[in-house]
Amino acid sequence: MESSSDIKVTVFGKTDVGLIREHNEDNFLLANVDSGLRTSSPEEVLDFPLGSKGALFLVCDGMGGAAAGEVASTMAVDSIANEVEAASATSRERLARRLRRAIESANEKINVQSRINQNERGMGTTCTAVGLVDRGLIVGQIGDSRCYVLRSGQLVQLTKDQSLAWQLIEAGAMTVDEAKSFEHANIILQALGVQDKVDVVLSHVQLCRGDVVLVSSDGLHGPVADDEMKAILEAEPDPKKACEALVAKALEREGPDNITVVVARFDGAGLPQPETKPILEFEVFDPGTDPDDPEPPRRITHSATDKVTVEMPVQPEAVDATSPGALPTRLVNPTASTPSSSSELQTAEEETSRPFLTFVLITLLAALGGALFLAFQQPALPDLPSRPSPTPPAPSPVLKPPDSATPIL
């Protein structure tokens, strides 16, 4: 295989506040790790050969109201870039572990910051991070910011939205077109800083010569259809012009949200020619473990196939918070957590059942005691005149919870 220096990277990024929001809570970052170049406001296209330390592109969509979302997204891009750049990744597996660890660390920092500062309470951000040290593109994701690849006229989404709408689509409950008008389309299931732990989804794709990678916040892929994005990327080979055209298209659709796009093109002898009809799809990447590169203990232990999305309960107050004008938006039950293993789930069920069993036992003992008392006292009771018994009322229907044979008492 050719060396990474035979891979040429051309990249640009752009963000816009849109036409509705008062603040731009999106953030992005482009980094050539070898040269130490890092920017969130490029004036011109970055053009460089891929070095041994690799490259990193980030898009974060902050939330939380006022300036809190901007704080969260800024903290995320800075923290992740610092940690990835601090330790050179010599292989794609090591890069994937570093990237996952950096995203988890950013989550902890944002979560702590939101707890100690009342004005930033509840802030959070999505994160889609793209890194490579060779032709294997690694994507780390939290939330619903996306990564696409354009190859041989085919635009494919490499990520899966961690959102309520996406889960309903995968369950067959709605179509992609129906999801665009879904009342709660802004509910996401994970965000950095909202929970003390997150489950980073890693995916990857093997790059080919001429590939175009697009990373975007939902301010772009919400109002702009995939076919429209594909047409722009094919018509504009220059990443800067492509970014400007994509943002302009979102603004044509009334720019309902902050808009952020990163467009990167890959070329060079280090990449193979693409197939005529390539097969591209979302593919989970498991970087494994390395004794020489140990990671801290991880509470979340889902298998790779379970890392597509993490289902969390939608509380009524969370749904109410998605009504127009409510803040924060796009957050679901930020304090909820799910059992990380079957043993935890069993323990939780046992703890829940014990008080109920105790109550039932006490009730039975009380009923038995009452019956014995009446039995012993019956001979001492005086005869009472009898009265006609009133006609008993019609019995009320027994209400049963769904899928349960136990009546509600």
Note down pLDDT in tens along the chain; length 409 residues. 455 679 999 999 999 999 999 999 999 999 999 999 999 999 999 999 999 899 999 999 999 866 799 999 999 999 999 999 987 767 899 999 999 999 999 999 999 999 999 889 989 999 999 999 999 999 999 999 999 999 999 999 999 999 999 899 889 888 888 887 788 877 999 999 999 999 999 999 999 999 999 999 999 999 999 999 999 999 999 999 999 999 999 999 999 999 999 999 999 999 999 987 778 888 999 998 876 766 666 554 343 333 333 333 344 344 344 333 333 345 444 433 333 333 443 444 444 445 555 665 666 666 666 666 555 555 544 443 443 444 444 433 333 233 333 333 2
Q: Is the dihedral of CA 306, 307, 308, 309 positive or negative?
A: positive
pLDDT tens readout for residues 63-109:
986 679 999 999 999 999 999 998 776 789 999 999 999 999 999 99
pLDDT tens readout for residues 142-179:
999 999 999 999 999 999 999 999 899 889 888 888 88
The pLDDT score that the predictor gives to residue 89 is: 67
Instruction: Give helix 68-86 / helix 92-116 axis angle, nearest 10°.
Output: 140
The pLDDT score that the predictor gives to residue 176 is: 82
